[in-house]
Amino acid sequence: MSDEDFTPGRAVDLAPGVRRITAPNPGYMTGPGTNTYVVGGDEVAVVDPGVDDTGHLDAILAAAPGPVRRILVTHNHPDHAGGARALAARTGARIHAHPTPLQGVRDRDFRADELLDEGDEVRGADYRLRCLHTPGHTTDHLCFLHEETGLLFAGDHVMAGVTVVIAPPDGDMIAYLASLERLKREPIAAFAPAHGGLMRPPVAVLDEVITHRLEREAQVRAVLDAEPAGIGVDDIVARLYPDVPEPLRPVAAYQVYAHLLKLRAEGRARGEDIDSPWRAV
């Protein structure tokens, strides 16, 4: 079965002890849908249970070769954490996540039973997952390194074919770029993202994302340089994303705003918020 098979509900074997099931929520922001990973054999950890959809949860349980003991959530966005409570109710599993509360888009009913942070380990009978705190997309974002295979369950830190959105206040461009750089020091064989297929080689993937973000930053700064009297975020979006579909224009605005906040923190731009004019410094 191909790694590029994202048929909702179908279990795809990626490595010994690792299966992927894609949720039935394709779209602009999710690509083919949110990936759930089933890890282990005699006892199972589920990474990102995805949306609260009975069919998807049924598929997760059908793909699990043993009892589900742990539910690991990379971050509290509804397409990742939405099914956690329902899956826990059906299995008795404990939910694990980072303690930082989000302020923007989030599953308001989400609650973790166990808190995880940088360097914590989650172990089962035949797997070991090391937690990496990777803020940027969100402040609470975790990745999980599968020590046995080198797969990094990357959540929304990197995505195949979909640009990661950095939306303040939970998203932070400075933190995001720093988190990308730190992953170069980890023994990663491939990224297993929450959207799309496996991504490798890891350093090349990271360099491509970093280059794209810095190129976009340079474009934002160039627009500021061309408008010394100041320019609003929506007007920057119109110049840099002329072909963006209308539903994605607010997303593009937050992406530009994240770059502006980074430039301001570095003393290279001046502005108040997403609704105010911005100027180069």
The pLDDT value given to residue 198 = 97
Cα 178 from Cα 249, distance rounded (Å):
26
How far is the CA of 22 from the CAs of 100, 118, 168, 211, in angstroms?
26, 27, 27, 29
- What residues contact residue 29 under an 8 Å CB cut-off, 6+ apart? 79, 162, 165, 251
Domain boundary among 149, 177, 200: 200
151 is a domain residue: yes
147 is a domain residue: yes
Residues 159 and 233 reside in one and the same domain: no
7 is a domain residue: no
Question: What is the CATH number for 158?
Answer: 3.60.15.10
Give the pair of three-digit tokens for residue 73: 């959530």
Residues 37 and 117 reside in one and the same domain: yes
263 neighbors 279 (Cβ within 8 angstroms): no
4 is a domain residue: no
User: Would you call 45 helix, strand, or coil by DSSP?
Assistant: strand
The pLDDT value given to residue 163 = 85
Residues 149 and 232 reside in one and the same domain: no
What would the pLDDT profile of 135-149 be if each residue is shown by its tens digit? 999 999 999 999 999
Look at 29 and 114; give whichever has higher pLDDT. 114
Residues 77 and 54 reside in one and the same domain: yes
The pLDDT value given to residue 1 = 45
Domain boundary among 200, 231, 262: 200
C-alpha R_g of the chain? 19
The pLDDT value given to residue 4 = 83
Residues 170 and 214 reside in one and the same domain: no
Place of tokens 């299966």: 19
The pLDDT value given to residue 2 = 59
Cα 79 from Cα 271, distance rounded (Å):
32
95 neighbors 88 (Cβ within 8 angstroms): yes
Domain boundary among 200, 234, 258: 200
* Burial of 47 (C-beta count, 10 Å sphere; 0-12/13-18/19+): buried
Q: How many domains does the structure of the chain reveal?
A: 2
Residues 186 and 275 reside in one and the same domain: no
Q: What are 193's strand-pairing partners?
A: 155
Q: Is the pLDDT of residue 49 over 80?
A: yes
